[in-house]
Amino acid sequence: MIITVTKPTLPELDDYVELLRGIWQREWLTNHGPLVNELETKLKEFVGVPNTLFLANGTVALQIAIKALELKGEIITTPFSYVATTSSIVWEGCTPIMADILQSSLTIDPARIEEAISDKTTAILATHVFGNACEIDKIQDVADRHGLKVIYDAAHAFGTNYKGKSILHYGDISTTSYHATKLFHTIEGGGVFSPDPALVEKMALLRNFGHLSPTSFGPAGINGKNSEFHAAMGLLNLKKIDAYLARRREVAARYDKNFKGSGLVRPVITEGCDANDAYYAVIFPSESDLLKTLKLLGEYSVVPRRYFYPSLSELSYVGPSNVPISQDISRRVLCLPTYYTISDSEVDMISQLVLRA
């Protein structure tokens, strides 16, 4: 049996089939059906943010956020993230400007953001890395002093809290991914959250072709909607989210215990953050140590992930960047398997292999 870096949570099949029966009876498959509306309501209740939309995926969420804020010119972003963070900026006709990360938390460095600001800068797009919060207060201070918008890519951070409330409260817009690999998923899906109801209303138009009515249109939009089938999966997974979060924390604590005194480095949790342990990342002393570990784990059918690798500063469509920390960390960081159904014995076996390597 192969142990992968993550596995999707799946509800009881009978429960999913019961929701499917309702879809069959209504014959309402997409276009803001009752399950989509119910999921949006339940998500609002869970995170405590009154304004949210359920979208097709996390990449569309980023693109709609950029479009809704009418961003142009340069957007300062992190080189230590998944490629969609950067490609969404480029896709929307803006220029990504890379600011290096903090050696401790691996999140974007507010001081480097300030250094990167020019007269063309319109926004900051920062990623909460591995479920760990950015330096939210410092980033907002920079944004306020320079008149910039803030988007948070919170693809990893569902269930993470900062200063006692959901991390999705912060910034002008926070985006989420509900892809099957995520701690909370809808098979495919994403979301946007904002404290500004007018901004969410605008994004609702953008996700549905700009329809004001069946025969009239507002701004140019796209098809960013999601289906009843995906919402059904999300509703059932949301019921068990507390159990999913608790198990991730147990797995992380077990890895921590097993690696104590080993010399492996873990990202430091940002002060004020209650992280969700969505990923278990370790930083090796060297890339050669990481590659030896990958080889040994592979011999035992364990498949971790070099996440994030390479540094996004290496993308062909990104200009030259001075981001030595991101380039260094990306070569030495590895995410080990963690998911709801992983057993303690599997965690111990993986730990022993890593230490042996």
Which parts of the chain sit beneath pLDDT 70?
none
Q: What is the pLDDT of residue 236?
A: 98
Global pTM reads 0.97
List, in sequence order, the alpha helices (H) in 72-217: 83-91, 110-116, 136-146, 197-206
Q: What is the CATH number that goes with domain 13-239?
A: 3.40.640.10
Helices vs strands, H then E, count in the chain: 12, 16
Q: How many Cα atoms within 13 Å fall on the side-chain side of residue 227?
A: 11
Give the position of tokens 């009978």.
Answer: 14
In CATH, the architecture of 240-356 is Alpha-Beta Complex (3.90)
What are the tens digits of pLDDT across the range 29-76?
Answer: 999 999 999 999 999 999 999 999 999 999 999 999 999 999 999 999
**Domain extent listing, the chain:** 13-239, 240-356
Angle formed by the axes of helices 13-26 and 34-47, to 10°?
A: 130
The residue among 75, 105, 124 whose CA lies nearest residue 268 is 105
- Coil, strand, or helix at residue 330? helix
pLDDT of residue 223: 97
